[in-house]
Amino acid sequence: MSEPMYLYDEVEDTQTRYVSFVDDNTRFDLALITTERFFGKTLVLDLQSNRYAIIGQDDLEEPGYLEQVYGIGPEEAKRLKKFLLSVV
């Protein structure tokens, strides 16, 4: 068996923020990871669905982006977008 060819193997200090919030119908449990790796964007993990995305302000303006990435409906996406606009 041949040795794997590493494309990169780096260690970096990151900042992780855990946020849980609810509204009338939805609960979000998120981990927001800030790192230099993603060129100013934030790695946003939805801890309930095990889905994640690298998100910046430009991504939040893409129609249907949050719905597709996190498998949520338009109302949930609107609530999530409102929160993410204030933190990414």
In tens, the pLDDT along 13-63 reads 999 999 999 988 889 999 999 999 999 999 999 999 999 999 999 999 999
Tokens at 72, concatenated = 């949520």
Kindly report the backbone phi and psi dihedral angles of residue 69, in degrees, each rounded to the nearest multiple of 5, phi listed first: -65, -45
Strands (DSSP E) contained in the chain are: 15-22, 27-34, 42-46, 51-55
Q: Is the pLDDT of residue 1 over 90?
A: no
Q: Per-domain residue ranges for the chain?
A: 15-85
Side chain identity at 39, as an amino acid letter?
F
pLDDT of residue 24: 82
Task: Name the pTM for this structure.
Answer: 0.89
Pairing of strands 15-22, 27-34: antiparallel
Neighbours of 77 (CB within 10 A): 21
Determine how many CB atoms are found less than 10 A away from the CB of residue 15. 9
